[in-house]
Structure 1
Amino acid sequence: MSMAFASFSICLIVLALTVRTYAVISGHTRRPKLSGRTVSNPATRSLAIFLGSGGHTSEAMMLASALDFSRYSPRIYVVSEGDTLSAQKAATLEQLKAADASSPNGQMRKQYKLEMIPRARRVHQSLLTTAPTAILSLLSCIYLVSIKPLLRKGAFRQPFADVLILNGPGTCVILCVAVLLNQLIGLPSPRVIYVESFARVRSLSLSGKLLHHIVDRFVVQWPDLVQRGGREECHGWLV
């Protein structure tokens, strides 16, 4: 009897998790658009940008540089550990924006910080050793997305950012999984926008294929990537 009850309980839990996951993922297409306001400041939205190193960081910097920093504050740059070049590029962009701080919003533009997370997989790392590093990366992302905001004074039930922009590579998938876990258990989470790399002309990247139905908005830069009836959005070249 106890074995049968345990089996039934496990099946019930799996079914509940499956239904909840389906509800969360399918609900992305029905989530209302952001109104451009936060509780702390009714005129701004907090923004997080994942810098994936190399060309991915360059594209992310181009996307960020086109934004009005007076509307997106504070800003969080999520960088893989050891990627000092991406951190330097983020600091340089902030300095350039701050140099144009003659307006009253200049002080707001300086509100940014860097967050470091372990890489899910290092370059040339063997597949056998990838699982431990991916788990470590996921735990770090869960702390960043789920635990750290709860420990912040005066910001209970606020997400670590209102909007999260991703454009690859692999570690961004781990970061998005942490956001999805937040949604599954009902914790506040950012709206996730995935912008496919400019280099992907005729087919999606592996990160894009994995996140296609998980993110809130999926943006591509080439019309050949838009499928009939699909979720892809194409607004031309963004970088």
Structure 2
Amino acid sequence: MTYVILGSGGHTAEMGRLTQALLQQEDATKAASYQPIRFILASSDSTSEQHLRQLLPKQATKAEFIQVPRSRSVGQSWLSSIFTTLWALLWSCYLVWRDRPQLVLCNGPGTCVPFCYAAFLWRCMGRLPSKSRIVFVESFCRVESLSLSGRLLLPLADLFVVHWPSLATRYSHKSNLRYFGRIL
């Protein structure tokens, strides 16, 4: 099972292109190994599911969309976001425990942070197999610095992908950070 974490707007567009590439590999066996896919989106996100359903290839028609509590809303105070983030983390821990995803793929919306921490936690505790992976693809718009989500997840992501050589150079001391050129 694969978890693909969606954010609104540009995050969903980027994840749509990444998911298309994942599912349209020449080797059908590899593409099938990522199935089933569960798309995780914030309960307040009203457009991502519609947008992504239009982009998905035929083989992903059985994909599920799961709405979860948002960690932090735009403009929400930092103090109140502590409580909403803890609530989102509890949800994430439950879903990751239940589904045991082999891959958590995300690109920076705040919704992804609790899921990555939950997957990391359950893998450390043996609930997820050691071969399960957390892959974070920094948003294409992050040219000179990492997003807040990126800074929080860089220490625990198995693979952290950046789109710009300046970021790769700046964080060259991080063994999990990779630059592959333009992937979107």
TM over 0.5: yes
- 1:204-236 deviations in Å (ceiling 9; x for gaps): 111111111101101101011113332320111
- 1:70-122 deviations in Å (ceiling 9; x for gaps): 5131111111112120111222223xx12xxxxxxxxx543311111100011
Match of 1:164 in 2: 104
Q: CA deviation at 1:47?
A: 2.2
> For residues 119 and 172 of structure 2, what CA distance do their matches in structure 1 show?
28
Match of 1:126 in 2: 77
**SS of residue in 1 equivalent to 2:124:** helix
**SS of residue in 1 equivalent to 2:74:** coil
Match of 2:46 in 1: 84
- 1:170-190 deviations in Å (ceiling 9; x for gaps): 221111111122023211153
Match of 1:221 in 2: 163
Match of 2:114 in 1: 174
Aligned-residue CA RMSD in angstroms?
A: 1.6
Higher relative contact order (CA 8 A, sep 6+): 2
Give every structure 1 segment of 4 or more consecutive aligned residues whose post-TM-superposition deviation is greater than 6 Å.
Answer: none
| Percentage of matched positions with identical amino acids | 37
Q: CA deviation at 1:49?
A: 0.7
- Does the CA-based 8 Å contact 1:198-1:221 persist in structure 2? yes
| Unaligned stretches of 5+ residues in structure 1 | 1-45, 99-107, 150-158
Decide which moves more: 65-74 or 193-202.
65-74
> For residues 120 and 42 of structure 2, what CA distance do their matches in structure 1 show?
20
| Unaligned stretches of 5+ residues in structure 2 | none
Q: Which has the larger radius of gyration?
A: 1
